[in-house]
């Protein structure tokens, strides 16, 4: 009888340990995702160079008023996580569709058109910014 109880205790102990490990893992990923979103200037270099060459002539500090009002990489740091996610998805869809850079710029400077590899890379990055907002509360609820 006591032995059975002991066995049970041992088992629940193991289950608890496993559950704790899961929660710990979840909170660790939660924390890293969170700090990722807090680093606002966090456009990875490999992606920033694409924007620099293809977009920032218009959407950067030296760009025109109109495009800068819509998207300004020089002020990306001030956007904050949710706006970053929103803008990055707009960026992904614009370059996928080929609506950006605009037709006139594509014709006069075809070298600024992002390659399909660059487009994939940008869209993957955009995707990575998205779930942060959704995942964070889920982690909080568990804890
Ligand atoms: C030759 C100038 C020029 C270049 C280069 C350019 N854009 Fe634009 N972009 C504009 C203008 C002008 C607008 C605003 C007009 C409009 O919305 O149709 C705009 C609007 C946008 C918008 C819409 C923003 C919103 O909030 O709806 C996105 C996204 C965008 N551009 C992304 C890009 C990306 C990504 C690149 C680089 C791959 C790029 N653009 C390159 C001129 C440019």
**pTM of the entire predicted model:** 0.72
Q: What residue ranges line ligand 1, CB within 6 angstroms?
A: 54-55, 57-59, 66-67, 70-71, 90-91, 94-95, 100-102, 105, 114
Mean pLDDT, residues 26-30:
39
| Residues 48-96 pLDDT 10s | 999 999 999 999 999 999 999 999 999 998 998 889 999 999 999 999 9
Q: Which helix (H) or strand (E) holds 98?
A: none
Mean pLDDT, residues 121-137:
78
Mean pLDDT of the chain, nearest integer: 78
Q: For 63, left (φ over 0), alpha (ψ -120 to 50), or beta? A: beta
Q: Helix, strand, coil: what percent of the chain each, to 5? A: 80, 0, 20
Distance 95 CA to ligand 1 centre (A): 9
Distance 55 CA to ligand 1 centre (A): 7
Rounded to 5°, the CA angle 44-50-55 comes to 120
Q: Residue whose CA is closest, atom 36 of ligand 1?
A: 55
| Residues 11-26 pLDDT 10s | 555 555 554 444 444 4
The domain segmentation of the chain, as residue ranges, is: 2-142
């Amino acid at each position: 009888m006591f032995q059975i109880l002991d066995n049970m205790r041992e088992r629940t102990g193991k289950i608890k340990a496993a559950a704790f490990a899961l929660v710990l893992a979840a909170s660790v990923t939660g924390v890293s995702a969170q700090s990722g979103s807090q680093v606002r200037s966090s456009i990875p270099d490999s992606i920033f160079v694409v924007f620099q060459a293809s977009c920032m002539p218009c959407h950067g500090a030296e760009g025109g008023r109109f495009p800068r009002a819509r998207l300004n990489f020089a002020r990306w740091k001030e956007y904050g996580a949710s706006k970053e996610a929103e803008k990055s998805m707009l960026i992904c869809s614009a370059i996928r569709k080929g609506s950006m850079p605009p037709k006139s710029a594509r014709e006069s400077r075809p070298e600024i058109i992002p390659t399909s590899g660059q487009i994939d890379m940008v869209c993957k990055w955009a995707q990575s910014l998205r779930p942060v907002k959704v995942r964070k509360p889920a982690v909080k609820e568990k804890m």
